Chains A and B, each alone.
Chain A
Amino acid sequence: MDRLNLIRLIRRPIWRLGRPAIVGASLVFVFVAIAFAAGPDTVQGPGAAPDCFKPWGKDTKFYQWKKKPGPYRIALDNGFIGNTWRIQMIKTAKAYAEQPEVKAKLKEFKVISTGEDLPAQIAAANNLIDAGYDAVIVNALNPAAFAPVAKKAKKAGVVLLSFDNVIESTDNIVINVDQVELGRLAARWLLKEVKTPGGKLLEVRGPSGNSVDRDRHTGFHEVLGKSGKKFEVVEVIGKWDDGTAQKATADAIAVHKKFDGIYVQGGSTGTVRALLDSKHPMIPISGETENGFRKLCAQNAAKGLHCSSAGTGPAQVAVTIKAAIAALEGEKVPQSISLPASYVEYPNIKEGSDFYPALSDNFFVGNSFPGCKIGLSAEEIMGKSEANQ
């Protein structure tokens, strides 16, 4: 494949420029030299900021681009923007780009949201590469469809990164969340909190067929299975939505009367409300990072409601921007980065840092990545509009 690429690279300028062989040959030479300079070198680890850019696995490669002089032009190519997560993600990206030490390194930070139209998102990525951005960050509509974009970015010497919905290609840096580990984390905490040797647990799952739902579910059951304790797990589907999760939880409590613990993947605020409404005795709940969930947990902690709250919120975009800048500065960066989870558990859930009474229930509070020295306050994030710039 590489040889074919090379042949194509060599042939193109000759074709375009015609006969004069010397001119052609020298241009070919320059062209090939540029082409080789464009892509990153594969290097040995460890990379820069290992606490932040943790390689995904032992065989993860490290990439190193030639250092580019700053300040940089970075663009974010987002797909759909229909929910609070995405809106907060864009606000977070802008807030992070405005932080003094980041701002000093950026000449321009542009955001584009194309909606759910895949060819439009691909075209936007191509346009950003052609427009000469130094790095392009993608939250992809489809993991498989961006291989041509990755190829083009590599050729053009543009650093391509993807997060959340990542691009399945080794020609880009991916910021991955270990969703299986999040499931394990919930199970470990519940095992610690539920004192009985067995019992009944409620698992409120996400949208069916989604890989995140599958992974969290797998991790959760893996730890439960190995614990040696006998738990019956009742599964309901909450679709990561407060309303749906609330109804599913209420129905489950009505049918099964008593649970010993709950794991809710998302829509955690709704699940806690259903628990409170049903007058069910307080049981430990492991949930996501919604502000509303943590508010309810803090209010009811005195009554015996214990919570753990884990997730990787929209702030992962900030880690991605940090990785983009590191790559442009010529640092060694793992091709696949495992994002640290943002985590807090009873009794450490504190007002003003872990949740914000004044903000809406839908705000995602997991915005601190201490390993990356990224800690965005709610005020910094919510002060930013979601406008493209």
Chain B
Amino acid sequence: MTAVTGPRAQDARYWLASHRGPILAAALFLAMFAVFVTEHPAGLSGNVVNTAANKGALLALVAVAQTIPVLTAGLDLSVGSVFVMTNCLASTVVTGTPREVGLGVALVVVVGVACGALNGLVVVVGRLQPIIATLATGAMYQGIALWLRPAPGGEIDEDFADFVTGSLGDVIPFSIVVLIAAVVVIWVPYRRSVLGRAAYAIGSSEQAAYMSGVPIARAKFLAYVLAGLFAALAGLLLTCVTYSGEANALLGGSYTLSSIAAVVVGGTSLYGGSGGAIGTIFGAFVLRTIGDLLFVFDIDPLSQPLFLGVVLLISVSLGSFRLLRVKKRLDLYR
């Protein structure tokens, strides 16, 4: 602590230390994306950015949904299923007159919130382990998705979909605007609210939080509700990207797993209590850009899963460098 020269420098150091995850993830993403754009035949064009943004925003929204329960030391295995189910729902209801489209969007969001609320109830009132509870509810949501859309198809208002997946002035992808809006309007106020801070407290130590009078039940419930909300936004975006819906269990499963990976790459601890949505968003973009690297580097298809796994392992390891500096070894086993 001898290097500390004043309160301001100390503040900066603390700020850096507490934001190491997001900063690392952002740096990793920028480096990968720079490589991708330089190697891409079309270079940094509006279309290339738009394609990458739509693909990244999908996973980013699902991963933000995952982040909030993870902060409370929980896990939501149903985010992928809610994502797929809201996709199937949106491919049915988001069509017709502008008024009907608006109502359809609202319905999709409400259904997502309802799914999250059910998860929250099962976890909080039913006192089941989140991982088991959401595994079960996730299977239910997948079943509803299949019931809504037994075969791929459906439709969505094309003007609405083109607007959502398009770019403002051919430069700024609208999906990025949605993502920023979600952070500014939902995440930041949540992070600063009592229930948001309570989520971090629960993740750090539920007993201590309980003894301190933190509203544990409400905070956990809200965490799952928000997860449902973000997953529904992702489902809506997927419908816009595909003009259709499909009850694809594989897709839901892969998004659930990728969302957990994005959370970790973004610097959020799976033990709860530290991290946040912004790191997760960059984590999701890192994961998606790994796939883009396959596009420009011509890697043997049979080696692609191996390549993805190695890059993922390296990314996760980067997020765990702090462990090398832990003074009390017992903390490693928390």
Contacts and interface: CB of A to CB of B under 8 A. Distances in A.
Interface string A252-296: 000000000000000000000000000000000000000000000
A117 B251 contact: yes
Interface in B138-187: 152-154, 158-159, 161-162, 165, 169-170
Interface residues of B, number: 44
Nearest to B246: A142
Contact of B48 (A122, A130, A142): A130
B199 interface: no
Contacts of A87: 302
26 contacts: A112-B295, A116-B251, A116-B254, A119-B238, A123-B54, A123-B292, A124-B295, A127-B51, A127-B292, A130-B47, A131-B42, A142-B248, A144-B152, A144-B154, A144-B245, A145-B152, A145-B244, A146-B242, A147-B244, A148-B161, A148-B162, A386-B302, A388-B294, A388-B298, A388-B300, A388-B301
Contact of A143 (B45, B152, B299, B305): B152
A191 to B, nearest CB: 32
B291 interface: yes
Main secondary structure of the interface of A (DSSP, over half): mixed
B244 A386 contact: no
Interface string B232-249: 000000100111111010
Given A15-B169, A146-B242, 17 more contacts: A1-B158, A81-B301, A90-B301, A111-B301, A112-B295, A116-B254, A123-B52, A127-B48, A131-B42, A142-B248, A144-B152, A145-B152, A145-B243, A147-B243, A148-B161, A148-B165, A386-B300
A112 B51 CA distance: 16
Interface residues of A, number: 40
Contacts of B161: 148
A16 B170 contact: yes
Q: Which 10 A-B pairs have the closest CB atoms?
A: A145-B242, A144-B244, A387-B300, A113-B301, A123-B55, A131-B41, A126-B51, A144-B152, A130-B47, A147-B243
Nearest to B302: A386
A12 interface: yes
Given A144-B243, A145-B152, A123 B304 contact: no
A4 interface: yes
B250 interface: yes
B291 A130 contact: no
Given A15-B169, A131-B41, A142 B51 contact: no
Interface of A: 1, 4, 12, 15-16, 78, 81, 87, 90, 110-120, 122-124, 126-127, 130-132, 142-148, 385-389
Nearest to B50: A126
A115 B58 CA distance: 17
